[in-house]
Amino acid sequence: MFYGCFVHAQNEPKPRVIVTTDGEADDRASMVRFLLSSNEFEVEGIINSSSQFHWVGGQGWNAFHDVAWVKEYIGLYAQVYPNLCLHNPDFPSPSYLLSKWKVGNINGIGEDSLPTEGARLIAEVLLDSMDQRPVWIQAWGGCNTLSQALKMIEQNHPQRMRDVAAKMRLFLIWEQDETYQNYIRPHWEHYQIPTIISDQFDCMAYIWPRVLPDSIQSYFQTAWMQKNIVQNHGALCAAYETNKGAFNAEGDSPAFLHALPYGLRSTASPGYGGWGGRYVNVRNNVWMDPLPDSSYTYPEGQWGFSNSWSKQMEHDSAPEKVSIRTHYFKPIWRWLDAVQNDFAARADWCVSDYANANHPPIVRLKNTPIRQQAHAGASLTLDASLTTDPDGDELRFTWWDYREAGNYAGKALKTVEKATATVSIPDNAHPGDTFHFICEVSDRGEPSLTRYQRVIVTVVP
């Protein structure tokens, strides 16, 4: 059975991931992108779960989509799998993915009392003492199956709780049931588990036509989606659910976009920012979205649909309010042209041979440590001249100062559009200030693909 290698071309470890999903339409769309990105991960589990929106017994819009949809999508993936492997041999086999598909807690909103195959799988992965590498557990729906897994661990292996917590990384698309607040928070949060509870994701969900900037919207509209994803791209992409041909929703995709090892190293800290958004620490090791403005406050309890900032701002029309909303979603939408082009290239891999498809550049730095120290006023050389492109495409380089990720209070430093950049640390920078310099490299293939490296500079006395 093929499991793939452990290191990505950008020299980052492959993230281990577990997906839990309530099977909503946007989950199913996210699953298409996830499966086409699965060469970038070690997939440890794909688990049906429920949420406050969808559960067994729910009626109408709340009806639960039959769990077999996961198996069906893996079957569609199997049809394009041989062609995907022409482009990257790390794509996991369909049989391997099927072995990782389990049904979790689906009977009711927040039902976390019954042991299920999905909960057992999560517990087994977390309890495996032979592999201590972190595991990113993504809640595309509720947290109830994860909650049951953690209850099993607490009941049967209480002495292992600290070790288990050290492996866990959580990315929650809202809290879509009460189990995080009722069980996980009081029993596990004090172990300082890195936890992202996202609201920014909503700009990739159903409200995208109202909240994404005009400059980004073309990547989600009918013409682009039909040409690049849905039509003539094989069985899996043909199943991608649209809204009259246009993008419908992928509200859960930021949960795995965050973990993609493309050089941004966003899994090192939720505050770094990357394709899954950028977050700030609010308590323990729990991270949420930056405040839209001073009139908003962080929730005391469950963070979700009923008190979401996104939902409060969704219908704003006054220019000053629209500006606040646009800035609020910027940590995700600033990357979305690259995100969509990556999706389009992977759709091409389903049907094209290697010579007739595009592949991403490999960004390599020369004599440029990814972590550096410097004095105020120092001049630094940032060199990405060792970067290559597997297709021999011409490359465009941009070194830019990701001001929001650092903590220097002054203006962003000048952007340099060359492989090698010389930057000067401002004279008024203080010891402890940090600068995040992003090397962004895009090829001139079709579609244009972008990869990165991040250099963090800390000012010292």
Q: What pLDDT sits at residue 11?
A: 64
Cα separation values, 109 from 95, 143, 177, Å: 31, 10, 6
Q: Give the contacts of 91 (CB within 8 A, at least 6 positions apart).
A: 4, 38, 39, 81, 84, 85
Q: What pLDDT sits at residue 10?
A: 57
Q: What pLDDT sits at residue 12?
A: 72
Q: Give the contacts of 392 (CB within 8 A, at least 6 positions apart).
A: none
Count Cβ atoms below 10 Å from residue 317 Cβ, excluding itself.
7
358-459 sits in which CATH class? Answer: mainly beta
Q: Give the contacts of 40 (CB within 8 A, at least 6 positions apart).
A: 8, 14, 15, 90, 260, 261
Write out the chain's pLDDT in tens, 461 residues. Answer: 222 333 445 567 899 999 999 999 999 999 999 999 999 999 999 999 999 999 999 999 999 999 999 999 999 999 999 999 999 999 999 999 999 999 999 999 999 999 999 999 999 999 999 999 999 999 999 999 999 999 999 999 999 999 999 999 999 999 999 999 999 999 999 999 999 999 999 999 999 999 999 999 999 999 999 999 999 999 999 999 999 999 999 999 999 999 999 999 999 999 999 999 999 999 999 999 999 999 999 999 999 999 999 999 999 999 999 999 999 999 999 999 999 999 999 999 999 999 999 999 999 999 999 999 999 999 999 999 999 999 999 999 999 999 999 999 999 899 999 999 999 999 999 999 999 999 999 999 999 999 999 999 999 99
Query: Environment class of residue 60 by beta-carbon count within 10 Å: exposed (0-12), middle (13-18) or buried (19+)?
Result: exposed
Topology (CATH) of 16-288: Inosine-uridine Nucleoside N-ribohydrolase; Chain A (3.90.245)
Q: Which of 256, 309, 319, 252 is nearest to 280 (CA)?
A: 309
Bond into 89 cis (ω within 30): no
**DSSP code string of 232-282:** TSHHHHHT--EETTEE---TTTHHHHTT--SSS-GGG-TTS-BTTB--EEE
Q: What pLDDT sits at residue 414?
A: 94
CATH 3.90.245.10 maps onto the chain at 16-288
Alpha carbon distance 322, 328 (integer Å): 10
Place of tokens 């290191």: 7
Phi, psi angles (nearest 5°) of residue 274 = 180, -160
**DSSP code string of 13-28:** BPPEEEEEE---HHHH
What dihedral angle (degrees, nearest 10) is formed by the CA atoms of 173, 179, 185, 189? -60
CATH 2.60.40.10 maps onto the chain at 358-459
Query: Environment class of residue 1 by beta-carbon count within 10 Å: exposed (0-12), middle (13-18) or buried (19+)?
Result: exposed
Alpha carbon distance 26, 18 (integer Å): 18
Question: 250 and 208 in contact (C-beta within 8 Å)?
Answer: no
Alpha carbon distance 209, 244 (integer Å): 13
Q: Both tokens of residue 34?
A: 């996830």
